[in-house]
Copies of this chain bind each other. A is one copy, B any other.
């Protein structure tokens, strides 16, 4: 890499005392970080002290010499960002907060105890934690998202730092992240690889082969800086160079697990294990003077993000002709992009299919092509919401499953992200099962605090996407490949709502609960049944939360005759959601007949209409089910 001009290095140094005094400060801080990591984990009786010790020197130099962060104002938009991708080094995280004066020693000692903010792995219940980590290989890709937002949207002065373990470098997601940082030339991004050679159960694959790590980093487009991770001067120099390199950097640091405590240093069998009281005493004696105090840190230069005009209400057109809901998703994004500056859109190299490309035309500077790397796509969305953007991320619904661990963790991060999966269900037709999401509703329902939406027409889609922009938590919109007819011209949609699209009278004999593509099949079935069976068709576009009141009313009106039809496997989707809602409302006992039409056999290739029919979820099958339900003796199934 280019030589870093001395001037820039001095910029760092100027804020602290110069020369060896500085190194002494780093060493003192490292001692305290080590001692506090041991004290807190020993008090807890669990935790990862040895994984903390290996990175103590790296973090000491970062905290005292390079991180620009106002610890009294974690919401200062000028602050740097520091994400521990190795979240299990939480003793070190909290020791850092203690040294920065952010928490007291008393709180430090609550580590891992019930009710404490200092959880086993860091989460944003602490104001200085951007995102939850602990599932390895996620913090770095999320940090890339923060850096992307900083560079491309905010044009902010802050730098993003992320500390990884070496075990997690085996995760492909790390390389998706390094690749993205490299391709986007994120000069505001620095990863620190804490290469301590030992994983949970023994040596890592590459152990101390720093050259190979460096070669990988370089091949993926970032600049490696290889150092001894226990030499404060070398670390200091590396971080100064990293901040001013003008390109994304990775500090590849050779470290020793358990460094500083002779009897655990570089030893197997010490991962995720606290020292007992006796061992801790011995360890603290070895570490030496480490009085628990607050260290001086660097504040950021004052900076305010650009002032944006207040968000306007997006202008949504009203369709009259059949349009695919995925197309309407793109239109809604474009409208949002025009109406507010905080909306950003990410897509996994399928924006011409998901129609996220419509947004790109409106706001190209806020569109992020993530290529076929769904984990990085979701991670980047999580990173962007850290800095108050409103991300929407899309790919085929089937491929959202690639990022499920990231979505799960996003909920723990209390992240506000919006996902859209297109090409859901068998109705995609000829492409076959690999492209059909048939488990996405189950997957997304089982995310804590999630919202799951599945519109059936373009106008409904437009309004739901507009609502998503202001939703908290993880929201998911399932869209359909095929054009679908227009059912609605109004805007009467809400999270937790539903619509009655046929029937709705007191004499409805059977209720059909559908969503998305099956609403149209149900409508066709109702048309077939006209004059024979009065049927109520419920469009349950809000799959979670589901409209329990509408379901209860349907059960009571029809004498408990219910058909649920969905383009999804039988498990975990609309059928399960309906039954759970009825059971919770205490009216499961009023069900007298229940038919669940869902995809039960592995599909192959066929035209969309053929697929729906083969899966048993087409109008014909719905009409048959309704007839069976209507003709069954009332309460036939009720005994007791």
Binding site for B on A (CB under 8 A): 44, 46-47, 87, 112-116, 118-121, 123, 125, 132-137, 167-168, 170-176, 179, 183, 199-201, 204-205, 212, 215-216, 218-221, 349-353, 357, 371-376, 398-399, 401-402, 404-405, 408-409, 411-412, 429-435, 438-439, 442-443, 445-449, 544, 555-556, 559-560, 569-573, 575-577, 579-580, 583-584, 586-594, 596, 602, 604-607, 610, 614, 635-640
Contact indicator A183/B201 (Cβ below 8 Å) = no
Contact indicator A200/B352 (Cβ below 8 Å) = yes
A176 to B375, CA, bound (A): 14
Partner of A604, one of B119, B200, B446: B119
Please indicate the chain B residues that have their CB under 8 angstroms from the CB of A353 in the complex.
200-201
A500 to B318, CA, bound (A): 58
The minimal Cβ–Cβ distance linking A553 to chain B, given in whole angstroms, is: 12
A586 to B411, CA, bound (A): 36
Please indicate the chain B residues that have their CB under 8 angstroms from the CB of A174 in the complex.
172
Contact indicator B592/A580 (Cβ below 8 Å) = no
Contact indicator A199/B405 (Cβ below 8 Å) = no
Q: Give 5 nearest A-B pairs by CB, closest first.
A: A172-B172, A134-B434, A114-B606, A442-B446, A572-B572
Could you jot down 6 A-B contacts, CB within 8 Å?
A46-B431, A212-B219, A216-B220, A401-B404, A402-B405, A589-B635
Q: A201-B349, A430-B46, A442-B572 are in contact. Are A172 and B375 (CB under 8 A)?
A: yes
Contact indicator B572/A167 (Cβ below 8 Å) = no
Q: A220-B216, A372-B170, A439-B408 are in contact. Are A119 and B588 (CB under 8 A)?
A: no
Contact indicator B572/A583 (Cβ below 8 Å) = no
Contact indicator B588/A637 (Cβ below 8 Å) = yes
Please indicate the chain B residues that have their CB under 8 angstroms from the CB of A589 in the complex.
560, 588-592, 635, 637-638
Q: A434-B132, A638-B589 are in contact. Are A201 and B357 (CB under 8 A)?
A: yes
Partner of A205, one of B135, B183, B591: B183
Partner of A580, one of B167, B171, B172, B596: B596
Contact indicator B587/A583 (Cβ below 8 Å) = no
A603 to B416, CA, bound (A): 18
A330 to B220, CA, bound (A): 38
Interface centre among A168, A171, A411, A605 (most CB of B within 10 A): A605
Contact indicator A172/B373 (Cβ below 8 Å) = yes
A273 to B534, CA, bound (A): 44
Q: A134-B435, A640-B559 are in contact. Are A605 and B175 (CB under 8 A)?
A: no
A443 to B440, CA, bound (A): 9
The minimal Cβ–Cβ distance linking A535 to chain B, given in whole angstroms, is: 18
A430 to B604, CA, bound (A): 46
A443 to B136, CA, bound (A): 20
Please indicate the chain B residues that have their CB under 8 angstroms from the CB of A200 in the complex.
349-350, 352-353
Contact indicator B120/A430 (Cβ below 8 Å) = yes
Partner of A573, one of B115, B204, B446, B591: B446
Please indicate the chain B residues that have their CB under 8 angstroms from the CB of A404 in the complex.
401-402, 404-405, 443
A170 to B446, CA, bound (A): 28
A428 to B523, CA, bound (A): 48
Contact indicator A121/B434 (Cβ below 8 Å) = yes
